[in-house]
Amino acid sequence: MRRHALCFIKTMALAAVFLGAVNIALAQQPSAGGPVARTELLKQVLPAGDFRNVQAVVIELAPGAGAPMHRHDVAVVAYVIEGVVENQFDGGPLQTHKLGESWWEAPGTVHNVARNASKTERARLLVVYIGEVGKALSVPLQ
């Protein structure tokens, strides 16, 4: 009985954390006259492949921090949940992504620059990797 109660408490705590995150996200979105508003952030058709492996992570970049150049062998959807991030993909122009903005990276995209634009504030991203089982999420490049 005690084990079931502990499991129930853990489940309710996890649900409370999830609902809190949803409430924060909804509070940041403009209201469309009702209690729930839907804001489309990104719409992308997946390329051909066996996309059955999905992983979501939060990446935190300390002030001024950046990731080394790398490639993703899976599709990537990223959403800025705090701060400002600078990216450069496949040698293209430097892009700036602010709170509430998102981007898409197709499998094989080279991430030349991925850094926190601020020298004083942290940046956080929600990153969702969508790919084939066994494919590397990130491959370091020179």
Written as one string, the DSSP assignment of the chain is -HHHHHHHHHHHHHHHHHHHHHHHHHHHSPP-SSS---------PPPSS---EEEEEEEEE-TT-EEPSEE-SSEEEEEEEESEEEEEETT---EEEETT-EEEE-TT-EEEEEEES-SSS-EEEEEEEEE-TT--S-EE--
Q: What is the pLDDT of residue 25?
A: 52
The reported pLDDT for the residue numbered 30 is 53
Residue percentage of the chain with pLDDT more than 90: 57
Delimiting residues of CATH 2.60.120.10 domain(s) in the chain: 53-140
In CATH, which of 2.60.120.10, 3.40.50.300, 1.10.1740.10, 3.40.50.2020 is domain 53-140? 2.60.120.10
The per-residue pLDDT for range 47-74, each reduced to its tens digit, is 777 888 899 999 999 999 999 999 999 9
What is the pTM for the complete model shown? 0.71
Top pLDDT among 37 and 71 is at 71
121 has pLDDT over 70: yes
Average pLDDT, the chain: 82
CA distances from 98 to 45, 102, 124 (A): 24, 8, 10
The answer to whether 98 touches 80, Cβ cutoff 8 Å, is yes
Q: For residues 70 and 129, is the Cβ–Cβ distance under 8 A?
A: no
CA distances for 81 relative to 10, 78, 123, angstroms: 26, 9, 8
> Above 60 in pLDDT, residue 31?
no
Give me the mean pLDDT over the 76-90 stretch. Answer: 97
